[in-house]
Amino acid sequence: MRVALALVLICACGSHAPPPQTPPPGPPPIDPVQLAARLRQDFVTLRDIAHRQLGQCEPLVAELRPHVVGMQAHAGEVARAMQSEDRALRDRVRVEVARYDDELRSVSDTIAADLATTYRSCHDPQPLVDVIRQIPSLP
């Protein structure tokens, strides 16, 4: 009876061995379409901020700072993908970013004009200059 009770308890409780460990998942795959679209959206948003805050130096700087930090992160992702050992990935990223070349040229011209207008209205333009220097360039 004791043996049967012990067998029932062992079967009910299962083994005490830990479950096998699975390796942690790797980074998600890089999506060139998403990378390029995010980069485009960063510049479109920058254009919108520069236009909305036209002539208002301090509010422009305050709104640009966090946006530029996000832009730097996204531009870094694009740069890493374009330097990848995977040639096919590099080529796909270049093709996807190139899809926005004409549009981003126009967007960049608008950004430059609006930032220049606001620069001229700044009592102390240095904070604006500092933020502008942190804007990543297009690949």
Distance from C-alpha of 99 to C-alpha of 94, rounded to nearest angstrom: 9
CB atoms within 10 A of CB 35: 21
pTM assigned to the model: 0.78
pLDDT over 70 (residue 9): no
Label residue 6 by pLDDT band (50, 70, 90): very low
Q: For residues 54-77, give the mean pLDDT.
A: 96
Distance from C-alpha of 80 to C-alpha of 129, rounded to nearest angstrom: 27
pLDDT over 90 (residue 52): yes
Beta carbons of 123 and 62 less than 8 angstroms apart = no
Q: For residues 69-96, give the mean pLDDT.
A: 94
3-state secondary structure 1-36: CHHHHHHHHHHHHCCCCCCCCCCCCCCCCCCHHHHH
Q: For residues 27-39, give the mean pLDDT.
A: 89
pLDDT over 90 (residue 60): yes
State what percent of residues in the chain have pLDDT above 70: 84
Task: Render pLDDT for 109-118 as a digit per residue (tens, 0 to 9).
Answer: 999 999 999 9
Q: What is the mean pLDDT of the chain?
A: 88
Indicate the burial class of 1 (C-beta count within 10 angstroms; 0-12, 13-18, 19 or more): exposed
